[in-house]
Structure 1
Amino acid sequence: MTPTAQELLRTTAARLAPEPAANPLVPRIADGRARARTIAVLALEQRHVIPADRRSFQHLTRRAAEAKDLESAAFFDTLADGESLARERLTPLLDACGVSRAEAATYEPQAGCQTYPAYVAWLALNGEPADVVLALTANFAVWGACCATVARALRDHYGFDDEACGFFDFFAEPAPDLDRQALAAVQAGLDRGRITTAHLRYGRLLGQYEEMFWETLAEGDGNGDGGGDETAGGR
């Protein structure tokens, strides 16, 4: 029996959910043990991730539209717009972390943090749009939960105000319109026979690349490569 779009979204998210202990950094941020500099590096890496993902989502929008998959096109178009909003909210975060404009402009990103957007770009070129919708939706649930935890911790342990936490709040907030678009895209994919098992592979790799993002930051946090002698809360 063919599952409904809602069932497929739910089971895909469940199958791709990471192990509770998979993230080595968010728990350290949550209880204030992570270096303040690590938060700055996270923001600097996102300064490269966000525009890359935006271009990938724009390309997926065009591909989906050309394939007459207007439901998936609408989903990716909303994601691209969201990345533009997220980019605007990075500046207050960088300012709160004490990152100068010069450092932001010259920062060299780390390979382990940029594998995720590199794979999103691969999906933009090669993935069946409806399958990509499924994979991204499952991954966004994990990312959103991490952002919610980080946003709370930045207020509780690092003295960040609401504006500085806006980047993480943005991704942590419910997105009912995007959820409806994902549901419509997956249902249209099922109706047209465009959903394959590839979405599970896409989602698994997205999850692993996101783990690499956090692991790379955690390595810098643990060995002091993030810079300085400051500890959490000692900005």
Structure 2
Amino acid sequence: MARTARDVLADAARALAPEGGANHLVPALAAGEAPREVISAFALEQHHVITADRRSFLHLAGRAAPLPAVAAYFSSLSLARGEDEALERLGALAAACGLDAAAVAAHEPRPACQAYPAYAAHLALGAEPADAVVALTANFAAWAGYCATVGRALRTHYGFDDRACAFFDFFAEPAPQAHEEALAAVRAGLDAGVLSERLAHRYGRLLQSYELMFWDGLAVP
């Protein structure tokens, strides 16, 4: 029986979901036990992550041109264009942390926090774009959960208002069409015979690991 796009994405989400307790910082934020400084570090590091990921997604869109559904996934409001909106919302979080443009520009990124976008750039250069769709979709499910938890925590324990938390709200509630775009992209990859679930899972496993490194890196000065 032929594999469907829905099967591929569901299996990846299940196989690549991080183990409970793997992320140490998000539960500490949820309990109000993490220092406020990690929120500032998040805003500073995400500025670099978002700008790098946007370039990677656009490069993947260009490489995926022969498969329009795959190219559309990477250039959509959910990814490349979504990063523009995310960056704008991030500015409100940075301001709420007392960070101005000069502070953002002066910040020196932490290696652990930038491993994720570095690997995303690696995928943009060499991975089959359809495989990257599967890997990223699985990772975004975990990221959305983290953002939902942190958004609630910042309001409850750290005194941040809705505007400051808008960045987390944006990712906690992905665009309604995001899953359909991912299904269409994976379906195109399957139909063209270019999608490798083995490689997609490899990429997804590494993305999830680098995601956890990002959160751990925020807690290390």
**TM-score higher than 0.5:** yes
Structure 1 residue 119: deviation in Å? 0.4
Alignment match, 2:151: 151
1:74-111 C-alpha deviation (Å, 9 max, x unpaired): 00001100001100001110011111322111000000
Alignment match, 2:99: 99
Equivalences for residues 164-179 of structure 1 within 5 A: 164-179=164-179
Whole-angstrom distance in 2 between the partners of 1:119 and 1:95: 29
Alignment match, 1:230: none
One-letter identity of the residue aligned with 2:42: L
One-letter identity of the residue aligned with 1:215: D
Alignment match, 1:210: 211
Q: Is 2:170 aligned against 1:200?
A: no
Structure 1 residue 215: deviation in Å? 1.2
Whole-angstrom distance in 1 between the partners of 2:123 and 2:69: 17
Percent of residue pairs identical? 58
1:59-81 C-alpha deviation (Å, 9 max, x unpaired): 0010001xx11001000001100
1:174-221 C-alpha deviation (Å, 9 max, x unpaired): 322111110001111111111112101000010111111111113x2x
SS at match of 1:32: coil
Q: How many residues align?
A: 218
SS at match of 1:176: coil
Q: Is 2:75 aligned against 1:77?
A: yes
Alignment match, 2:136: 136
Equivalences for residues 120-131 of structure 1 within 5 A: 120-131=120-131
Alignment match, 1:45: 45
One-letter identity of the residue aligned with 2:202: R
Whole-angstrom distance in 2 between the partners of 1:99 and 1:209: 26
Whole-angstrom distance in 1 between the partners of 2:102 and 2:175: 34
Alignment match, 1:14: 14
One-letter identity of the residue aligned with 2:200: H
One-letter identity of the residue aligned with 2:72: A
Structure 1 residue 169: deviation in Å? 0.5
Structure 1 residue 12: deviation in Å? 0.5
One-letter identity of the residue aligned with 2:96: A
Q: Is 2:34 aligned against 1:34?
A: yes
One-letter identity of the residue aligned with 1:74: A
Whole-angstrom distance in 2 between the partners of 1:101 and 1:194: 43
Whole-angstrom distance in 1 between the partners of 2:176 and 2:167: 18
Equivalences for residues 63-74 of structure 1 within 5 A: 63-65=63-65, 68-74=66-72
Q: Is 2:186 aligned against 1:186?
A: yes
Whole-angstrom distance in 1 between the partners of 2:111 and 2:3: 38
Runs of at least 5 residues in structure 1 that lack an aligned partner in the other structure: 226-235
One-letter identity of the residue aligned with 2:5: A
SS at match of 2:177: helix
Structure 1 residue 148: deviation in Å? 0.3
Structure 1 residue 152: deviation in Å? 0.3
Structure 1 residue 37: deviation in Å? 1.0
Normalising to structure 1: TM-score of the pair?
Answer: 0.91
Whole-angstrom distance in 1 between the partners of 2:40 and 2:4: 42
Structure 1 residue 27: deviation in Å? 0.3
